[in-house]
Amino acid sequence: MRAAMEYEMKRHPLCRRQFLMLSVILTWCIIALWLFFRNSSHKSDGESTLIDSSQEFSRWPPLENQNLNVDCMQGSLSKSLSALESNLRVWGDSEDALCKDVYNRFFHVYNVFFRAGAIKIPPQFVPKVSKWLNNDENLLKELKNQHVIHILNKQTKEYSAFSPLRSKRPQSTSNNSLQYAETIIQETSVNCDFCNYETQTSEDIFGRIKTNFCVSAANTFKVDRWHSLIIPFKHNPLELSEEETMDIFNAALLWFNKVNSLEAEFKYPWILWDSMPHAGASQVHPHVHVGLSVDSYVMYENTRSAAQKHFQLFGTNYFTDLIRIHHALGLAVDLGKATAIAQLTSKKDTEITIISSEVGVDFTRMIYYVIRTYYDMGLYGFSSMTVFPIMGMNEKGSLPAIIRIATRGDVSSIRSEISSFELFQFSNINVDPYTVIEKLRTEISLKPPMYLNIAYLEATEYNTTSYAHLLLPYKSGPIEQKH
């Protein structure tokens, strides 16, 4: 067949020229189409664009974080997750209209499963098990017929399992963690890159953001177009003061504003903070990752989609319902416009979620108190993720200010506290969330109203076009914090 075609083309030169011309035209068409689709999928150097998902979202009702101010448990709230079943039963019997409303909202968000499992312990194994339980006969009896609580967040699909018996096991009171932390902090202060940031870190193309206590540095190995670090001047993470901790987020806000002023399409802010090597920090010197994404909240998109689904089903603000539910159960504490909750579906032991309608003083102060609570518990490593409202757009689908923060176990241990359970199955919670929230409540109560060396404008409404009016660079002179 091929030979026949070649023979015909040799016999008819015109046919041959037409074939070549058609081939050239076809080739150029393919190139043109490739260039068209390539250019339409790129807005700027190295940045691809996805479909704007904001069109899928609604304008949710305003976030509210007021306390219930109603005793839905009729004075019989048991502050332990092991008593969740009885707490729900008492709550369900409440005649108060507000309590009934929030009780219904609980089941809008959660499914709870109470399960039991029995075991037999060989006589030879009993002494070892008894030693694990500090020779507590009641715990040994409870071990033989265990009760486990499983909780599903129906909107986010987060799933946690809590074994009350695990939380009752005697815990070590060793000072190894603190000694290790102090030693590694001292050792790494000698040749610290971040202490010498001017020569040992990269800069963004616009330079550095510098405040009273922090400086920015471009991340040398980026994970996104705009990805940098906020570095406190102080090397010791355990000695960061309240003002220094707040200034980390102050510097982050200034960095967000600067980047957004250069490229307005980058408008989804996020902050990552790992403290100490065991928690994943590349250096002991405190530092946070800051970034602005162009397409979405990335991992937090699941939460945003859940909030939208919740609104479509029930017409309420998902985060307001979350706060009210946890207040009713005694698992929330307020500080002005910020609320900290010990979520029923935490990702890790001791996790605290802070939610606020604005990126303000209350939100950043609460973060500091959570960290100090962890230190008081002898836990010196933590990981966190923070997102802020979308910059420069209306309120459709915009998240409030949220941080999820959790400790990462013994910082001196070579054993990881994250297993296949947390990675691939469900969150295995071993610390009663009431333990953490009560310690945080105490931490906040011990802090009197403070005079902070921080300048901020008294804005009554949140303006997503700029964060600058909420936390601003420090200036001299005490300025009283006002709520």
Beta carbons within 10 angstroms of residue 126's beta carbon:
11
Write the DSSP string, 130-174.
HHHTTT-HHHHHHHHEEEEEEEEETTT--EEEE-HHHHHS-----
Residues 137, 204, single domain; the answer is: no
Residues 248, 326, single domain; the answer is: yes
Residues 354, 273, single domain; the answer is: yes
101, 133, 168 - which closes a domain: 168
**pLDDT at residue 26, rounded to an integer:** 67
Residues 190, 152, single domain; the answer is: no
Distance of CA 473 to the CA centre of its chain: 25
Q: Rounded CA gap, 206 and 171, in Å?
A: 50
**pLDDT at residue 352, rounded to an integer:** 98
**pLDDT at residue 333, rounded to an integer:** 95
Residues 141, 282, single domain; the answer is: no
**pLDDT at residue 39, rounded to an integer:** 45
CATH code, 237: 3.30.428.10
Q: Give the strand order in the sheet containing 145-153.
A: 110-118, 145-153, 159-162, 427-429
In a domain, 343, yes or no: yes
| Residues of the chain under the 70 pLDDT cut | 1-55, 67-69, 169-175, 393-395, 448-483
In a domain, 19, yes or no: no
- Residue entry with tokens 């959790």: 406
In a domain, 470, yes or no: no
Question: Is 457 within 8 Å of 430 (Cβ atoms)?
Answer: no
In a domain, 340, yes or no: yes
Q: Rounded CA gap, 36 and 160, in Å?
A: 48
H/E run at residue 356: strand 352-356
Question: Is 267 within 8 Å of 390 (Cβ atoms)?
Answer: yes
- Residue entry with tokens 């490593």: 381
**pLDDT at residue 419, rounded to an integer:** 78
**pLDDT at residue 421, rounded to an integer:** 79
**pLDDT at residue 452, rounded to an integer:** 46
**pLDDT at residue 447, rounded to an integer:** 75
Q: Rounded CA gap, 277 and 184, in Å?
A: 10
In a domain, 137, yes or no: yes
Task: Give the structural domain span for 139.
Answer: 81-168
Residues 6+ apart with CB under 8 A from 102: 68, 72, 321, 324, 325, 328
Cβ neighbourhood burial of 53 (10 Å; 0-12, 13-18, 19+): middle
Tokens of 38: 């390539």
In a domain, 18, yes or no: no
CA-to-CA dists, residue 50 to 239, 260, 263, angstroms: 43, 18, 16
Residues 264, 332, single domain; the answer is: yes
**pLDDT at residue 18, rounded to an integer:** 65
CA-to-CA dists, residue 312 to 233, 323, 325, angstroms: 46, 19, 19
Residues 100, 233, single domain; the answer is: no
Under DSSP, the state recorded for 207 is B
Query: Which residues face 429 on adjacent strands?
Result: 162
Question: Which is it for strands 401-407 and 332-335: parallel, antiparallel or unpaired?
Answer: unpaired
Question: Is 357 within 8 Å of 345 (Cβ atoms)?
Answer: no
Q: Rounded CA gap, 184 and 275, in Å?
A: 12
Under DSSP, the state recorded for 378 is T
In a domain, 7, yes or no: no
Instruction: Write down how long the chain is.
Output: 483
In a domain, 267, yes or no: yes
Task: State how many domains the chain has.
Answer: 2
H/E run at residue 15: helix 13-40
**pLDDT at residue 367, rounded to an integer:** 98
**pLDDT at residue 238, rounded to an integer:** 96
Tokens of 116: 């039991």
Q: Rounded CA gap, 373 and 344, in Å?
A: 19
Residues 244, 120, single domain; the answer is: no
Max Cα distance, the chain (Å): 104
Residues 130, 275, single domain; the answer is: no
Question: Is 297 within 8 Å of 422 (Cβ atoms)?
Answer: no
Residues 157, 251, single domain; the answer is: no
Where are the strands (E) in 202-351, listed by range?
A: 214-218, 227-232, 268-275, 288-293, 332-335, 338-341
Residues 275, 392, single domain; the answer is: yes
Query: Which residues face 272 on adjacent strands?
Result: 289, 385
Residues 183, 163, single domain; the answer is: no
H/E run at residue 243: helix 242-262
